Amino acid sequence: DGKDDAIVEPARIEEKITRKRSRPRRPKRNLPLALQGLMGEANLRYAKGETELAIKICMEII
């Protein structure tokens, strides 16, 4: 009789659910406001496809 196969006990459902272990978060790097602005500018330039200019701006930050 196939009806018994469709019924799943709640304990079995809990066994199937596995929790994903979260990684410990890295501390956020705090940049001065001037450098945060430059990072934003570099990000925008990269997003627009101006990769060479974005790289130059990033090198300034470093």
pLDDT for the residue numbered 34: 92
SS (H, E, C) 2-28: CHHHHCCCHHHHHHHCCCCCCCCCCCC
In angstroms, rounded to a whole number, what is the distance separating the alpha carbons of residues 43 and 40? 5
Q: What is the DSSP secondary structure assignment for residue 48, as one 8-state letter?
A: T
Output the pLDDT for position 10. Answer: 61
Q: What tens digit of pLDDT does each residue of 6-58 get?
A: 665 666 656 666 667 788 888 887 889 999 999 999 999 999 999 999 999 99
4: pLDDT strictly greater than 70:
no
**Can you give the pLDDT at residue 2?**
54
Average pLDDT (1-6) is 56
